[in-house]
Chains A and B, each alone.
Chain A
């Protein structure tokens, strides 16, 4: 399991009720069911991945999170997880509002556009960055709304969304992010994980 998932898993208490939005082949929820006996649901767009999840006995529905989160009641889940997908929605703000409506807490991870390699690529080479967490080229990337850790931090502040915990990942290293080290971590983290409510 990738480092990001391990960190997310550590944030989840046992027997929580969780929805994984864009759950892929179900790696995260499968591990969480085994480790922490959680009650998990998933939503995934791609038919093949949905099939894999169902074959593992996971309760995953095929659907588009952009339009289909409205079917869940308010605070239906203890946690809603959105891993590196927010930037791919047409209206990320609407999706975020939905996540906060249906989940008591929301865990969002974002590929950090403020990461130094990204900045170097644009500044010195004048090209759109291609990194481990941003592997696609400008013409085939699903990402529509890239942001940095700092952008998302300020967005949460502005929208009065409570940030319970922020974690930065740089390959295998992780570190806690706060107001004081924000500038530095925004430069050094490839991925940012926000626990918000």
Chain B
């Protein structure tokens, strides 16, 4: 959770930003990372939006965690999103904990970390905050925007808010609003964090202990939703963890238990519990149809953006139906849309893995759209 600031690039957003909650913020940092080179024509830029627990370190090695970037299988030299060809930008979201303005930042008013005094933010606030990056790089129109899960929500919000800022867009395993089940799962995670005594109503930054157990449980619960029943069964089944028989205790007898505990433990080292609360809240509040008179159709009316919607057959967190609803709204508003459902057992996490069908489709779409975009200019 603690990082060396020299590894993080930041801009300071000076323009006041009026948040959906009514508060206004200004002079706040947005952290970002870039990969590849922006060409002379400035027509090879791709903006990537990260998911709930992601960050700006998409490719290569994350300099803070020393682990692979979260989309390293897809983004990099000669990969599906080829950094030798394209210029990639990714920002840490507003409310995040990897250098962008978030609840662990110090409040100038009292010199203390914000904690729960941090304003409740929305997906739309995140997008408005990131727009400054495009100004910073002086990019008028992006080649594409990409995002899976919450990244897809940001992407849809971006397209609805700035209709002419991108030539194409690929929302992956995403939705235009959370349903009751999706909100319920986020609430479960938040309650796990808030019921940890060390959470202390969000004031833990200066304490010796932080709500690591609560955050780990939140991560464990969420992790189950990222995998499919079949994927989990094939990987773990009822296999025991380095033992021949049950030990008749509550230690991790089963491999799947051990795996989830591990996922929980490694997560707390890199993520802030309050950020989890704020960002998951933003996801629950997101409802694109509410922002426009004609609902979703109004969100995309007269848009020229070329959309590719991707879903995964075994994803039960953001199932194909969520993606099809986006397709239906886009078609109803006459937008330009392609759609593919990728067959896989890997569940929601498929978008993070190099599933050949997925990465080939994405690559084909980007490369062909780059050709069309270049010729259009």
Interface residues, chain A, with chain B CB atoms under 8 Å away? 41, 47, 50-51, 53-63, 71-73, 76
> Which residue of the partner chain, among B327, B328, B340, contacts A51 with CB atoms under 8 Å?
B340
Which residues of B are found within 8 Å of A54, using beta-carbon distances? Answer: 308, 338, 340, 361, 364-365, 368
Q: How far is the CA of A150 from the CA of B367 in the complex (A)?
A: 46
B331–A60 touching, CB < 8 Å = no
Taking CB atoms, residues of chain B closer than 8 Å to A63 are 324, 327, 339
Inter-subunit contact B339/A57 (CB<8 Å): no
Q: In the complex, what residue of chain B is closest to A102 when comparing beta carbons?
A: B331
Bound together, the chains give a CA A19 to CA B334 distance in angstroms of: 12
The smallest beta-carbon distance between B150 and chain A, in angstroms, is 24
B183 to chain A, nearest CB (A): 26
Residues of B at the A interface (CB closer than 8 Å) are: 306, 308-309, 324, 327-328, 331-332, 334, 336-343, 357, 360-361, 363-365, 367-369, 371-372
Give Cα A91 to B324, complex, Å.
Answer: 23
A59-B306 contact, Cβ under 8 Å, with A50-B340, A73-B332:
yes
Given contacts A47-B357, A54-B308, 8 further A-B contacts (CB under 8 A): A47-B340, A50-B338, A51-B357, A56-B368, A57-B365, A61-B309, A71-B331, A76-B334
Measured CA separation A118–B51 after assembly (Å): 58
What are 15 residue pairs bridging A and B, where the CB atoms are less than 8 Å apart in the complex? A41-B336, A41-B337, A51-B360, A51-B364, A54-B368, A55-B363, A55-B364, A55-B368, A57-B368, A59-B306, A61-B327, A63-B327, A71-B327, A71-B332, A72-B332
B367: A residues at CB distance < 8 A: 55
B334 surroundings in chain A (CB, below 8 A): 73, 76
Task: Report the bound CA distance from A76 to B357 in whole Å.
Answer: 31
Contact call A61/B332, Cβ cutoff below 8 A: no
A47 and B342 alpha carbons, distance in the complex (Å): 8
Please report the C-alpha to C-alpha distance between residue A58 and residue B340 in the assembled complex, in whole angstroms.
Answer: 12
Cα distance A54–B80 in the bound complex, in angstroms: 14
**With A and B bound together, what is the CA distance between A18 and B276 in angstroms?**
46
Contact yes or no, B341 A62, CB < 8 A: yes
Residues on B with beta carbons closer than 8 Å to the beta carbon of A76: 331, 334
Chain B residues with CB under 8 Å of A51's CB are 340, 357, 360-361, 364
> Chain B residues near A73 (CB, 8 Å)?
332, 334
Residue pair A57, B340 in contact (C-beta under 8 Å): no
Known contacts A47-B341, A61-B338, A72 near B365 by CB under 8 Å: no
Which residues of the other chain, A, contact B369 by a CB distance below 8 angstroms?
A: 57
Q: Among B327, B338, B342, B361, which residue has its beta carbon within 8 angstroms of that of A58?
A: B338
A55/B360 in contact, CB under 8 A: yes
Q: Is the CB of B361 within 8 A of A55?
A: yes
Tell me if A47 and B360 are in contact (CB < 8 A).
no
Q: Which of A56, A62, A71, A72 contacts B340 (CB 8 A)?
A: A62
Q: Which residues of B contact A41 (CB under 8 A)?
A: 331, 336-337
Q: Is the CB of B357 within 8 A of A55?
A: no
Q: Find chain B residues with CB under 8 A from A47 CB.
A: 340-343, 357
* B306 surroundings in chain A (CB, below 8 A): 59
Q: Which residue of A lies closest to B306 (CB)?
A: A59
**Nearest chain A residue, comparing its CB with the CB of B357:** A51
In the bound complex, residues from chain B placing their C-beta under 8 Å from that of A59 are 306, 336-338
B337 CB to closest chain A CB (Å) equals: 6
Nearest-Cβ distance from residue A27 to partner chain B, whole angstroms: 15
